[in-house]
Structure 1
């Protein structure tokens, strides 16, 4: 049996965390959730992950700052993919997110199709087929 794929969903809004987590779970991912940037950094310092879905607009510490810290400190393990999970989807905003270390941008509201498209573009598993998940 292969190793489970671990994802971290970071969003200060509980409904958004739940939605993203359920979508990833149904695609075969093992998902953890946190509600802030500092909590994300703490979790990533102690746990490996293949993927972070990271909200941009959060109080205390923005998703941009979290992304920069994850990259600078090597948190979450090698090869971690960070997806900006945001309502900010203008071309100049997307360019900024990618320039500071995000691997992709997923604009809210998300759908199963948009999540699958981003995972596929990042060469990450986007299907529960073959994972033993029904």
Structure 2
């Protein structure tokens, strides 16, 4: 898998993955690690927002259904901030594919959507869409 990454980018990404399920955190950490990326895990929305206040991330993977503070509430709070972290690309992760269409997640402030169970190809395609130099350039100028 790492060879596929090296063909596309030699940059290691720092990804914040937010999920209340320890098994989901572990699986995504393994996937990202196999591609040479660093996964920083957070088990709740408040923990994620706290980390975003003090650390820079290339991307956030955010579970939608979490107790206490949902992924929707996290992305709303993030986008309302004044700091640079408000522009962090956020990919929604959820097994609930029936309550909203992917386009609705975009309207709510997410940059992309990946359904669970996570397929490696879907996850890595979504990550590439939001971390390639062309996307970063468009985000800064657009």
- TM value normalised by structure 1: 0.82
SS in 2 for 1:122: helix
Task: Indicate which of 73, 78, 83 corresponds to 1:65.
Answer: 73
Structure 2 partner of 1:47: 55
Task: Indicate which of 83, 94, 107 corresponds to 1:86.
Answer: 94
Q: Which runs of 5+ in 2 are unaligned?
A: 1-9, 134-142
Structure 1 window deviating more from structure 2 (8-17 vs 96-105): it is 96-105
Residues in 2 aligned to 1:75 and 1:88: alpha-carbon distance in whole angstroms: 31
Which protein has greater RCO, CA pairs closer than 8 Å, 6+ apart? 1
Residues in 1 aligned to 2:63 and 2:121: alpha-carbon distance in whole angstroms: 19
Residues 78 and 38 of structure 1, relative CA distance in 2, 3 Å threshold = closer
- Contact kept, 8 Å, 1:49 with 1:76, in 2: the verdict is no
Q: Which has the higher helix share?
A: 2
Aligned residue pairs, count: 124
Q: How does 1:1-134 map to 2 (within 5 A)?
A: 4-74=12-82, 77=85, 79-90=87-98, 92-124=100-132
- Contact kept, 8 Å, 2:15 with 2:57, in 1: the verdict is yes
Q: Which runs of 5+ in 1 are unaligned?
A: 126-134
SS in 1 for 2:85: coil
Residues in 2 aligned to 1:5 and 1:76: alpha-carbon distance in whole angstroms: 17
